[in-house]
Structure 1
Amino acid sequence: MSLDLRHLRAFTALGKELHFGRTADQLHIAQPALSKIIQQLEAEIGAPLLLRTTRRVELTEAGKTFLAETASVEAQIERAVASARHAARGIRGELRIGYTDFAINGRLPHMLRDFAGAHPDIRLNLIFMPTTAQHMALLQQTIDIGFMIGAFEHKTTSSLTFDEDDYVALLPASHRLCAREALTLAELSEEKFVLGTGDNWSAFRNRLFAECRSRGFFPDIALEASNSEGIFGLVVAGVGITIYSSCVGNLPRQGVVVRPLSDVTNKLPVTAVWDRTSRSQALDTFLKYLRRSARKPAAQP
């Protein structure tokens, strides 16, 4: 005979109660059945665990030692069961989340903070990725969800608009147009521009270039940088102006002046995109929270 949970639980209960009748009632079994279980256990161990008299039940030294071990085993099993149930409900796990500069400088950090507080057993692994890199990562299933610029339509993906920002102009503090409260994109046609590089910022550049073309010009690009900090630094240095998302208001920088663009009505969407074929319970839990947090309902099923 080999030991199983039935033997361990019966002995643990009896070792604490030290009464066969009450323990049998607690376990919802007959007293003779409980006695047989304990006899099987003692036979397997090869030593008596209990001293029985007509008046009392006591633990032997072997019984005291075994009780201490079985109690820890039972607690560990209960933790394992709870963890499995939590995982099945999406309460435990890991989420790999891709994000862009615009996403992390907007509402996303606040939503992630609140989600982490509500679901501390889901570990959030944040990975910076340009929008086009997130497309590939989703198809290769190396991220679970991405926060990117614009939509990504694919037969395996679903998406919703998480945030929407305005286009704004960033000027060096010494620029002559800083005296204006608002600008138009059209009047910036003769300016030198600082932009993000084509490989990392292609999704944003495509949108910006479309806005510029509709106003009859193409930006005169003086220099490019791979990230937002580099772009801001070049603007501060007076290399040129840039167009950015209004989320820049969440990270004010000395030497940079932000002005709205009154002639640009299109918004810059931050879209959450995920693999609809995923069976991750952690992702399902996150999506329920995301839908409550998003400004718009899901754009796709």
Structure 2
Amino acid sequence: MKVYSAGEHLISEVVGYISELVPIHMDKAKNELSSIMAKYHVNRVEQNEVHPDLNEKINLFLTSKKLEGLSKNTLSSYNLELSIFADKVKKRTEDINSADIRVFLGQFNHLKMSSISRKLSVLKSFFSWLTAEELLQRDPTAKLKPPKLEKRLPKALSIEELEMLREACTTRRQRALIEVLYATGCRLSEVQQLNSKDIDFNTQSCNVVGKGNKEREVYFSFKAIYHLRKYLMNRLDSTDALFITERKPYRRLSKRGIQREIGIIAKNAGLEKHVSPHTLRHTFATLTLNNGADLVAIQHLLGHSDPSTTQGYAILSEERKKEQHKKYLIQ
């Protein structure tokens, strides 16, 4: 039994298609096409295989975004989402249409709208880049609108709850973590990457590298500096990291380790609400704005490129609203 190559299958399919459109000499056409195809190496893409063209385009996109300075976390997230997409939609990139993307997103009804919106956002970035680079003639995501998300106010701690967290700390490391996260308003990844030498105790500040590999200066409170000094002075290791594990071999405390520590403190404090490192970032923004801080200043301290992101924190308490009304109303 003769085994046909991928090239021979392609020739038969092409000749068969043309013969339906116009009368041709099939054997002659096959011979002519065979001589042309001999110059090329043809592989058949199986139905259960991700099309190599799509994989190639994804790699080009990720390489370009890496050169633009996107963080490792963002690139990893893009890679994961696009790999899932490629595994489900096994087509050439130019053959993918809006319906394919709708069907793909429709498979994730079990996920929250925010997760589906994130998937669509990654696909929009991918296809719009391909179109801008003229690797694709049309953007199949152009007419797709992201799902409406439920607007939730940022969850911040009250002053009383913040004090409860402080009182619940049982180690120097715990108290230093709480004070640094709250005073600087830093993201979890920014604090986790800090080294002891990064802290300028004279100016009570340090530089952190945030999203998009952007560097900014953040500031510590007197309490943060005090408890950070106590923590560092009682350490006997030579590890560079600002926050380290409690047991040998000493190493940089992981992001998961910091999250776990904050969770333990919140549990000891008896707080019913979920408390994470990001909660302390929300608390920094909300309490400082409620205390009269300038919105633009907070935007830069948080490392927000878009002012509207910071605007979400500008939620005044009832007492603050009443105070502002009395202060600024022209009688």
TM-score, structure 1 normalization: 0.30
Task: Name the one with the larger helix percent.
Answer: 2
Task: Name the one with the larger strand percent.
Answer: 1
The structure with more radius of gyration? 1
User: Larger relative contact order (C-alpha < 8 A, sep ≥ 6)?
Assistant: 1
